[in-house]
Structure 1
Amino acid sequence: MLARYLRCAPGREAPLMACDAALHQGHTDADVIAALLRGPGSRRALQRLSLASPRARSPLETLARLQLHDAGVPFEDGVVIPHVGEVDLLVDGRLVVELDGYTYHEDDFQFAKDRTRDRELVRQGYRVARFTRKDVHLGKVGAEVRGLLAAHDDLLGRPSGDDAPMVVKIDDKRGGRRLQRV
């Protein structure tokens, strides 16, 4: 079913959300889905599948990850940071991106817990950017994160954007390679 959805759906977001959920819950793995992708539309479906992640815990994470990918921003998802726990996304090894859906973040307890986590991240040298569900649905994550990284680089006098050197980074989760600015 997922293979057909990846192959036939007009957009990539919904099939990727479904793949991410199935992978995260352990219902299948990417190799099983890939083995079913033969015939018309399979090349596009395999490209979509390469963007799936078993670490995504919500549709918001899937959408934000796609926005970062499209913006060419290097990231890891589902990273565990000592004394903090798992963060939604770690961008360029230095910016933690947290995605706050209304349902999970509506009570005082969770709100306070998130602020405690933010302070611990800052103590460890990370920067934190929180995005709401609305921010994600409006497609703001990629451009805003690029802007945050560039502003921080400017403050530190580091090259950013087209001036920063490129290196090849091995993506351990998916076995692929991607270019990353250093």
Structure 2
Amino acid sequence: MEIEAFLSTRAGVARASALQGAGFTRTALGKAVAAGRIVRIRRGVYSLPREAGVFSLALHHNALLTCLSAAPTYRLWTLDGTGPLHLSPGHKAAPPGALSHGRCLHAHHPWLPVAGLADVLIHALRCLPELESLVMVQCAAQRGDITVEFLRRKLPGNRNARARAVLDYVIPRADSVLEVLANFHFRRAGLHVRRHVELPGVGEVDFLIEDCLVVETDGGTHLEPRQVKKDRKRNNATVIGGRLGLRYGYNDVVNHPARMVAEVLAVLELRRRGAFDAR
């Protein structure tokens, strides 16, 4: 394995001891640094060039990366990783253009200038739009890295009411970001939603809405020929089983959620009026 590939499995950063444990000698590390393939951001810590900038900036300002800027370190789901740098500053002021968060109250990353996971998520819940913070919390919670109850206790009072409301939409299990977002929009619309329901002849479906409409959210793998054939069979089995079915992809769920919900509501209304009854 090339050293770049190894670092990519570690969010782009690793200690020298981890690299050497993987078989990369000090000589190999030195050559990689000299060639510009990797960067030494501090003694005993190496990074891919694209990650080195933010870590070096945080170190220079005696600050910790937090909120959205710390998501890659903890391998958290995000909707959009771009935007300003999010920092919890030390005794120095945050650099121009960076978003400054409050001080960290929990142990930070053991060897990187990154806030601890608890502070990262608390800052995200207070700072980011609700869907962006929701997917980060969902990812950490379903992995078992943190609990919703812990975060709720850390967000008391009226000023944290908005942040606590986001936690109400964290679900026990989501197989993709699309499931998290679709569940949010369906529940926000007041629909009765059941997730991961096992249907005879169909298998497990993403959503069963109002006990009559199956909704599936399709990520990139659903475009693969083998999966397309499987989905087609599942669609047919859904209808044969007496239920209606809709499918939505990334663009629908992420960029056009209002249209997606409107279509679901339209199908439910048509069913209520008897449009799908036998003639």
TM-score, structure 2 as length reference: 0.51
Question: Does residue 113 in structure 1 map to residue 230 in structure 2?
Answer: yes
Within 5 Å, which residues of 2 pair with 1:3-152?
Answer: 3-9=122-128, 11-39=129-157, 41-101=159-219, 103-136=220-253, 137-139=255-257, 140-152=259-271
Answer yes or no: is the 8 Å Cα contact 2:196–2:207 preserved in 1. yes
> Where is the strand percentage greater, Structure 1 or Structure 2?
1
Answer yes or no: is the 8 Å Cα contact 2:238–2:245 preserved in 1. yes
**RMSD of Structure 2 on Structure 1 (CA):** 2.2
Residue deviations 1:126-181 (CA, integer Å, cap 9, x gap): 211011211222122211100110011112699xxxxxxxxxxxxxxxxxxxxxxx
Q: Which runs of 5+ in 2 are unaligned?
A: 1-119
* Distance in 2 (alpha carbons) for counterparts of 1:7 and 1:41: 9
TM-score, structure 1 as length reference: 0.76
Number of aligned residue pairs: 156
Q: Which runs of 5+ in 1 are unaligned?
A: 159-182
Aligned-residue sequence identity (percent) comes to 33
Residue deviations 1:75-117 (CA, integer Å, cap 9, x gap): 122223344332111111111101112x211211100111112
Between 1 and 2, higher relative CO (CA 8 Å, sep ≥ 6) is seen in 1
